[in-house]
């Protein structure tokens, strides 16, 4: 094995540019990771430009053409209400990406903050936070989210309704918002512990570095030291987890929609499309196969990319 110069230069004093360029080069050589990246890019574009790409509105019903197999007019066929399946799959990508990105963002912010505090301050606070991660990770997480979702939805919806009655502000009539807020919140609540642990481990090794000691000696407040020196240097390994986390969040979202506690119809989600398809798959297998295949493809892509990133950013573990 030959060491490339850039691999040796990974010491804190160097600007991180070389590391990233080297990692990108390694990533490009990994064919599976590139394929994953490509699939994710296509799906992301579909999610962003969905309304311009879909041949039909995801709600428009053509009752003369119900449960049709794939045709030229409807590439993936139509469902039991005559809605175009391709359009619904594309809008489902929107839901999936919104949920994945927002949930991961909340979980990462929460995890980084708690993990950094735990690692940097230590003591009782550290033990308390780590105990919390233990508890969260030792409960079957799916169950917890479903319980949170199912029990908070009625009161939140009632509260929104009361607000609407009081203010007549149409903002409070948006039931889709309730769904999304609950899904975001409950999912972020169970996905933060791994990030917190990762960041804590990083911070523990960083807090004894000379530049942190120097900042302490200069008399900077703890908050500033953490914000300016500790947290930015602890974020590197997080990239791999975030890539895997996006995929996990996407799967979780569809799992909840499948169980009927996630995003509610008529907002299209791969999960509730799979659930609908499950009822009629004996007669119309395409209604089940289309969303199931796309979801499978997306999760496989995120996993391949995650593994590729892992190898690219940790060259020592690769061989």
Partner 1 sequence: MLRYVANRFLLWIPSVLLVLLGVYALAFFGAGDPIKLIFLRAPGDVAYDPARIEAIRHTAGLDRPFIVQFGSYLWNLVHGNFGNSLNSGRSVWSMISAAAPVSFQLAVLAILLTALTAVPLGLIAALNQNKRLDYTILGSALFLWAIPPYVAGPLLMVAIITLVPHVSVPYGWGGILDVRIVLPLLVLSLQPIALIVRQTRAAVIEVLSEDFVRTARAKGVPEIVVALKHILRPVLTPVVTQLGLIMITIVNGAIFVELVFGLPGLGRLTVTALTNSDYPVILAITLIGSFLVMISNLLVDVLYPLLDPRAAQSFRAR
Binding site for partner 1 (CB under 8 A): 32, 131, 134-135, 138-144, 146-148, 150-152, 154-155, 247, 251, 254-255, 258-261, 271, 274, 277-278, 281-282, 285, 288-289, 292-293, 295-296, 299-300, 302-304, 307
Cβ nearer to partner 1, comparing 25 with 31:
31
Q: Measured from the CB of residue 213, what is the shortest distance to partner 1 in angstroms?
A: 32
Cβ nearer to partner 1, comparing 164 with 281:
281
Q: Measured from the CB of residue 143, what is the shortest distance to partner 1 in angstroms?
A: 6
Cβ nearer to partner 1, comparing 57 with 134:
134
Rounded to whole angstroms, how far apart are CA atoms 126 and 223?
Answer: 16
Q: Measured from the CB of residue 194, what is the shortest distance to partner 1 in angstroms?
A: 12
Cβ nearer to partner 1, comparing 167 with 314:
314
Q: Measured from the CB of residue 210, what is the shortest distance to partner 1 in angstroms?
A: 33
- The burial of 188, by beta-carbon neighbours within 10 Å (0-12 exposed, 13-18 middle, 19 or more buried), is given as buried
Contact 143, 61 (CB under 8 A): no
Q: Measured from the CB of residue 139, what is the shortest distance to partner 1 in angstroms?
A: 5
Cβ nearer to partner 1, comparing 104 with 112:
104
Cβ nearer to partner 1, comparing 152 with 201:
152
Cβ nearer to partner 1, comparing 212 with 253:
253
Query: How crowded is the C-beta side of 204, counted as CA atoms within 13 Å?
Result: 12
Specify the residue for token string 């690219």.
312
Q: Which of 82, 76, 75, 84 is nearest to 61 (CA)?
A: 82
Residues β-bridged to residue 84: 78
Cβ nearer to partner 1, comparing 79 with 116:
79
Contact 112, 99 (CB under 8 A): no
Q: Measured from the CB of residue 73, what is the shortest distance to partner 1 in angstroms?
A: 24
Rounded to whole angstroms, how far apart are CA atoms 18 and 73?
Answer: 50
Q: Measured from the CB of residue 142, what is the shortest distance to partner 1 in angstroms?
A: 4
Q: Measured from the CB of residue 110, what is the shortest distance to partner 1 in angstroms?
A: 17
């Amino acid at each position: 094995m030959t060491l490339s110069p850039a691999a040796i230069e990974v010491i804190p004093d160097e600007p991180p540019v070389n590391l990233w360029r080297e990692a990108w080069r390694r990533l490009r050589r990994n064919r599976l990771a590139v394929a994953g990246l490509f699939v994710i890019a296509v799906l992301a574009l579909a999610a962003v430009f969905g309304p311009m790409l879909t041949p039909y509105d995801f709600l428009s019903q053509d009752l003369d053409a119900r449960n049709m197999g794939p045709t030229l007019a409807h590439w993936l066929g139509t469902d039991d209400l005559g809605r175009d399946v391709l359009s619904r799959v594309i809008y489902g990508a929107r839901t999936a990406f919104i949920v994945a990105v927002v949930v991961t963002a909340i979980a990462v912010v929460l995890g980084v903050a708690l993990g950094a505090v735990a690692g940097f301050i230590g003591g009782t606070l550290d033990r308390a936070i780590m105990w919390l991660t233990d508890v969260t990770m030792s409960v079957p997480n799916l169950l917890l989210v479903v319980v949170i979702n199912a029990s908070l939805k009625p009161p939140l919806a009632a509260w929104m309704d009361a607000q609407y009655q009081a203010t007549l502000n149409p903002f409070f009539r948006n039931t889709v918002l309730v769904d999304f807020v609950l899904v975001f919140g409950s999912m972020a609540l169970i996905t933060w512990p791994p990030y917190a642990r990762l960041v804590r481990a990083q911070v523990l090794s960083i807090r004894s570095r000379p530049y942190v000691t120097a900042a302490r000696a200069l008399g900077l407040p703890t908050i500033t030291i953490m914000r300016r020196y500790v947290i930015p240097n602890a974020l590197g390994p997080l990239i791999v987890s975030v890539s895997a986390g996006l995929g996990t969040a996407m799967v979780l979202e569809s799992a909840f929609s499948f169980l009927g506690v996630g995003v509610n119809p008529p907002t299209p989600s791969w999960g509730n499309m799979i659930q609908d398809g499950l009822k009629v798959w004996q007669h119309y297998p395409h209604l089940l196969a289309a969303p199931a295949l796309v979801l499978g493809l997306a999760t496989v892509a995120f996993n391949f990319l995650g593994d590729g990133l892992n190898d690219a950013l940790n060259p020592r573990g690769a061989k």
